[in-house]
Amino acid sequence: MTPTARSLGDHLREWRQRRRMSQLDLALEADISQRHLSFIESGRSTPSREMLLHLAERLGVPLRDRNPLLLAAGFAPVFAERALDDPAFEPARRAIDMVLKGHEPFPAIAIDRHWTLVAANAAIAPLLQAIADPFLLEPPVNVLRLSLHPQGLAPVIANLAEWRAHLLDRVRQQISVSGDPVMEKLLKELLSYPAPEAAGESHADLAGIAVPLKLATKAGLLSFISTTTVFGTPVDITLSELAIETLFPADEETAAILRGHLAN
């Protein structure tokens, strides 16, 4: 039995409810009347492609999920999804490589929407020496699994309880925004790993401005703060889902150790 295709109204209603917006909220945000929006959701009115994309923008619908909206309204998809090795991706790959290389001697990685490792700079390799299970390093490498698995980086994360809570919060927020079933499955896996005993906050030395990542290494305790960079004007699905995670030294001791590794 063929499943019934979902209507445009179903799609819009789901995204509006996921954003916890009433029809009035979205109508005001999109600068249209609530009556007009109600007619679109009920199927009594068919929006133009421009109006539909406008509503998707106001709802913060990921590019990947805008094509189904267009198809449900009878329009052709407008957002391409290219493979990372597609020649059209070369300028983006060069930009990623420049950012990763330019961040050395500090660690930086590029990941996709499921936290799969896309690229990394040379400063990452020394941090992975503590990985007990080499299977975790076999492609495709999932950064969340690598970080929290008991045979991964978890045993050397000095503030594991705090860092684990931080990562799980990020995953939950991502699921809330995207509704991605792959991330929901991954979250269940991460929650199944042994949980460390809760400890006191370890970011007092950062004046409470950020949650640090603290790694106990042979070279000493490394403390990092992280930033996330995304492409500002993507119109390709793959590019819109790429992010660059950069680690900056949270103290001078960490910076000195990493610069020493580069010199060697």
| CATH code, domain with 26 | 1.10.260.40
Count of CA atoms in the C-beta half-sphere (13 A) of 50? 0
**Which one, of 118, 128, 176, 125, lies nearest residue 152 by Cα?**
128
Is the same domain home to 36 and 130? no
pLDDT in tens, 84-122: 999 999 999 999 999 999 999 999 999 999 999 999 999
Would you call 184 helix, strand, or coil by DSSP? helix
**For the domain that residue 141 is a member of, what is the CATH number?**
3.30.450.180
Q: Report if residue 3 sits inside a domain.
A: no
Predicted pLDDT of residue 263: 52
Domain final position from 72, 96, 120 = 72
Instruction: Say if residue 37's pLDDT is above 50.
Output: yes
Q: Phi and psi dihedrals of 223, rounded to 5?
A: -125, 130
* pLDDT band, very low/low/confident/very high, at 2 (cuts 50, 70, 90): very low
Counting beta carbons within 10 angstroms of the beta carbon of residue 12, is it exposed (0 to 12), middle (13 to 18) or buried (19 or more)? buried
- pLDDT > 90 in the chain, percent: 85
pLDDT in tens, 157-202: 999 999 999 999 999 999 998 989 999 999 999 999 998 876 555 5
- pLDDT > 70 in the chain, percent: 93
pTM of the predicted protein model: 0.88
User: Which residue range forms the structural domain that includes residue 235?
Assistant: 87-263
Radius of gyration from C-alpha coordinates of the chain:
22
